[in-house]
Amino acid sequence: MFNKRALAFGLFLSVVTAAFAQDLKVSASWDNIRAHPAPLPVIGELQPKHSSLDQPSLWSVGVETLDRGFSDFSQFSRYIGETGAGYGRLQSGWARTEKKKGKYDFSWLDEHVDGLLTQGVHPWMCLCYGNTLYTQNGTGLDARVFSDGPVMDAWLKYVRATVRRYKGRVSMWEIWNEPDADVNLETYPLYANLFVRTARIIREEDPSSKIAALASCAPNRTYIRQAIDLIAKAGGLQYVDYITFHAYWQIPEAIIPDVKDLRKDIDAYDPSIRLMQGEAGCPSHLEYAPSVLRDIDWTETSQAKWELRSMLNMFGMRIPYSVFTMVDLKYDWKLQCMGMIRTDLKKKPVYKRPKFHVVQHVTSFFTPDIVPTDDILVSSAISRDLRCVGLEKNDNPVGCVLWFGGAIPTSSLDRLMTDIGIIGAQFKDPVYVDLMTGYIHDLSGSLIKGIVGNSTQFSNIPIWDCPVVIIERDCLSMSKL
């Protein structure tokens, strides 16, 4: 049985160990970002919070591909709790667990599940991919979904053993990963069958657990509708708590219409089914090898901007979000550079990218008591695509998030100074929070032109292609510089 006292001691020990361990190198790009704050008086900075099993969270981090050894959990696990995320996504690895028919070795997965819990992070697990003991359909991303028969029977036995072992430790089970990828694009009947049969086993073993379907690319709305329709006809909607999708779009805001349309699609079946963004990230530099978002001249700065915008887009639609990924992944053909932590060819952490720090800023600031609202708007004379997500706390309007969207994030640290009006909120003591740098800036005195009706007018506010927050001072905690 899972020992909470042992977990509490393990969490304490990990925090103490991390405090005395030598930290990573400092990122030159992060130093440069911090050296270029917004042109407003700095009065403090956001205080990162360590992950805690007792604190509700909107945010998850990706700890995927360990089943194939693309990263080394033992070398980066102590940094996971520093992100402040409440959840961590794992992949189960049937082929790594069952190397002899009927014999399961979960020792490697125990390390990852218990390691996340020790860091104060709830694991959620994707059950996916094949096993060469039973099928040649693949053991990784290109694995083909299988039909009923000996392979399915062996899969279900494996699923039962896995869920039974981690009941009470894994918060949600996701069934397969990107089944609508090219190799499986026309196999939605196979996926629907796999989902229903797998979900039934999960509920038998762990009735209180959550179950997620699809882990769809893009998302592929046609594939999702086709699969969900067959799942519904088989009586399987009772098992669907979440539909997960992945978001790798050059312009983060471009996905919003598709997600809203997907929400309408799912409402036609069951409005209680929630959406979750289960993977999203972009590279930190130009990549040519086969990968998402390749052939774009990314930098660590534009990567951090992309992640912030992607996270806030989903927050604005009340959709939980998982950041891909904790560390760079050493694939057979390349070292992928999407990690929050830069690693070397030996999978050893080198330094924390700006992406790591901005994730800390989001998880510490956007706690469940801060919720989005459509009742707060922004007005401005500028012609650029100015995005606004209103913020409420305890049913009261308290601020908004602002940024320029509609284009691929740049590497520039320049801001545009502009006058704005925030409609639907009257501020008493507002501050400006830069989610990139983490600095909190004063907005008192001459910066506030005055309150007009149900709006507040501001002059000379720095806006750029990266989210910033204007919010009442008493809604946040800050550390002094």
Strands across the sheet with 42-46, in order? Answer: 370-373, 386-393, 396-404, 468-472, 430-434, 439-442, 42-46, 478-479
Q: What is the dihedral of CA 351, 62, 318, 259, to 10 degrees?
A: 110
**What gap in Å lies between CA 364 and CA 347, rounded to an integer?**
28
**What gap in Å lies between CA 410 and CA 387, rounded to an integer?**
16
Tokens read off for 252? 């983060």
Neighbours of 141 (CB within 10 A): 14
Q: Which of the 8 DSSP states describes residue 100?
A: B
User: Between the CA of residue 340 and those of 167, 391, 438, 457, 479, what are the distances in Å?
Assistant: 29, 27, 16, 37, 23
Q: What is the dihedral of CA 250, 255, 256, 262, to 10 degrees?
A: -170
**What gap in Å lies between CA 353 and CA 340, rounded to an integer?**
6
Decide: 109 and 92 in contact? Cβ < 8 Å: yes
Residue 74 confidence (pLDDT):
98
Residue 444 confidence (pLDDT):
85
Tokens read off for 311? 């996270």
Structural domains in the chain? 57-366 (3.20.20.80), 371-479 (2.60.40)
Q: Provide Rg for the chain, Cα atoms.
A: 23
Decide: 479 and 44 in contact? Cβ < 8 Å: yes
- pLDDT tens, the chain, 481 aa long: 334 433 443 444 344 444 434 579 999 999 999 999 999 999 999 999 999 999 999 999 999 999 999 999 999 999 999 999 999 999 999 999 999 999 999 999 999 999 999 999 999 999 999 999 999 999 999 899 999 999 999 999 999 999 999 999 999 999 999 999 888 888 999 999 999 999 999 999 999 999 999 999 989 999 999 999 999 999 999 999 999 999 999 999 999 999 999 999 999 999 999 999 999 999 999 988 778 898 999 999 999 999 999 999 999 999 999 999 999 999 988 899 999 999 999 999 999 999 999 999 999 999 999 999 999 999 999 999 999 999 999 999 999 999 999 999 999 999 999 999 999 998 889 999 999 999 999 998 545 766 667 889 999 999 999 999 999 999 998 787 7
Cβ-Cβ contacts under 8 Å for 362 (sequence gap 6 or more): 59, 308, 311, 312, 435
| Sign of the four-CA dihedral 31, 86, 405, 453 | negative
Residue 449 confidence (pLDDT):
67
Residue 161, exposed/middle/buried by CB under 10 A (0-12, 13-18, 19+)? Answer: middle
Tokens read off for 19? 């405090």
Q: Which of 420, 421, 411 is nearest to 463 (CA)?
A: 420
Residue 332 confidence (pLDDT):
86
Q: Which pTM was predicted?
A: 0.94
Tokens read off for 46? 């956001």
**What gap in Å lies between CA 274 and CA 331, rounded to an integer?**
32
